[in-house]
Structure 1
């Protein structure tokens, strides 16, 4: 049986959208909402806001997930015809070693390549295994007959061109989804599916609710604007971070209690836990030590809101990521319960 959320994830991750170059994927999401008859608008940053009217139009809710991903830009065209990269987003060079990539020129041409260490060949370089994975040592090998910078420029490639990584998405028979950019396209798919459920089933939400699909989260400011003054609660839907000492797993929804920016709203956190327990939804409470979200960005920008953060647990964040369909289901169930619930007292 086809799972619509998984199919949406597969479609989303295969549309290149590094922060700063998200037009194509945003159009995909906008078309999806438009077909459902949902009111949408674009902000000047390129983000998308979909709005579903509720019974109460004086107090609003806002949910956000981000469609921008990690990526890179061409920093330099090297004399040997290879490219030096500058990273977009917070990840390490070792996470993309050996990855296939795609360069989009200013004219819209797409040229493929592979991200490699300059010292890759063990037959030539004594330090192939020990050399630092950094900007100086890693480069893009283009799939084109080029031996110098002039030949590269004749292809249309120039400094500032966007570089996206091959997601290599796979869905296993055991229910796992493996892909780059599950952060945060898994959550975007959940929100898209949730909006479809609300519209097609004729669900009347208690409060007018806005769904912000942001496009600059990976660089820190995707959700810090375009929040209506009526918005009381602001819930970011983003990945739950896994690792040593973390409670988050790949099978439940993770409720973040604190990240690098500080604690999330205690009242909203308690409300989410109560909803999960009342509806037998699998969840974990967790702290993400090196993390920030669109909700924390909104608070930093000065918005007077109640903020929270939840999302499916995702392994190996900012590398080749993995989650399970169970985490997607539990996240959607908690979001649906939340949207039907009352605002918390403040």
Structure 2
């Protein structure tokens, strides 16, 4: 059994990252999810918030597991149509404006039109603005230069652009010959691709899993409440599959699967976390254990909502998170292998009893 199909995973990841889905504007990406699942012959339910839940019955239907990943990404909304015809933005999700300065973007109008543009500082031209490089990158100075012949607010509004329209950032997907995947929105579409591939594997290989398992594709994680509801009451374990944070003081890298012991919300379930570590060791899966200083997940959102589950978090290591991100095929492979090892393993309390 081939647990990780590199070509299929990369092709799927490219498709997902090329589909705009800033938080709040996820209908298109969720339709893509539904289409993929329909092609696999997998049944699913859709929540009122638009999330998709796939349930695969296991040998034990009394104690359930849940794995989640999110399709929603960073983005922006039109805050103001300026007198110049350009647009000021309101941030969706948490990032730094310098991470998107100079990026091409798409304005999604209420009528369904897509208008191209570029995110720039208002004071970009060094031939006009002295000290432009030292000005703060913030909502006051960042704007969208619209790719249409508009010279004032009235002309911009006349082509259908209005306050509240969503703005998505170009992903710029690239797979290098050295195995790196470079694109925006690896957080968390890398995990979504891996979960879909796992569902495909179970479905096509007719794998019998030990516990009924829910695959929860959420669409509001970047604003804090993606996977905190519609959790079946039989759920005992809740795994967020989400990016590993890379930087100074971190063990996480782009080649291993990152298992999170603690983030801003506090420690993850100790025994479940160390079951993941043990599974990695037993299956020769390269991993790193880490703490993410400024981070929250759908699993921690579920805990805060009062859901009584054991929760854990792991995923591929993502470099330059919430900017132009990068990971390596090796990290995707190690994450896929840990996902498979986990869904086939006994729950930690049953393992202890044996």
**TM-score class, shorter:** over 0.9
Preserved contact between residue 264 and residue 307 of structure 1 (Cα < 8 Å): yes
Structure 1: distance between partners of 2:6 and 2:233: 40
Q: Is residue 84 from structure 1 mapped to residue 88 from structure 2 by the alignment?
A: yes
**CA deviation profile, 1:109-137 (whole Å, cap 9, x unmatched):** 00000000011111111121100000000
In structure 2, list runs of 5 or more residues that go unmatched.
Answer: none
Find the counterpart in structure 1 of residue 290 from structure 2: 286
Q: Is residue 33 from structure 1 mapped to residue 37 from structure 2 by the alignment?
A: yes
Q: Is residue 63 from structure 1 mapped to residue 63 from structure 2 by the alignment?
A: no
Shift in Å, 1:2: 6.5
| RMSD of aligned alpha carbons | 0.9
Structure 1: distance between partners of 2:272 and 2:34: 29
Aligned ranges 1:101-250 → 2 under 5 Å: 101-250=105-254
In structure 1, list runs of 5 or more residues that go unmatched.
Answer: none
* Matched position secondary structure for 1:129: helix
Question: Of 13, 20, 28, which aligns to 1:24?
Answer: 28
Structure 2: distance between partners of 1:31 and 1:50: 13
Find the counterpart in structure 2 of residue 309 from structure 1: 313
**CA deviation profile, 1:23-70 (whole Å, cap 9, x unmatched):** 111111111112212120100000000111111110100000000000
Shift in Å, 1:161: 0.2
* Matched position secondary structure for 1:68: coil
* Matched position secondary structure for 2:99: helix
Structure 1: distance between partners of 2:34 and 2:342: 24
Instruction: List 4+ stretches of structure 1 deviating above 6 A.
Output: none
Find the counterpart in structure 1 of residue 324 from structure 2: 320
Structure 1: distance between partners of 2:255 and 2:273: 19
Preserved contact between residue 6 and residue 329 of structure 2 (Cα < 8 Å): no
TM-score by length of 1: 0.99
Structure 2: distance between partners of 1:328 and 1:39: 26
Find the counterpart in structure 2 of residue 277 from structure 1: 281
**CA deviation profile, 1:298-318 (whole Å, cap 9, x unmatched):** 000000000000000000000
Structure 2: distance between partners of 1:195 and 1:106: 34
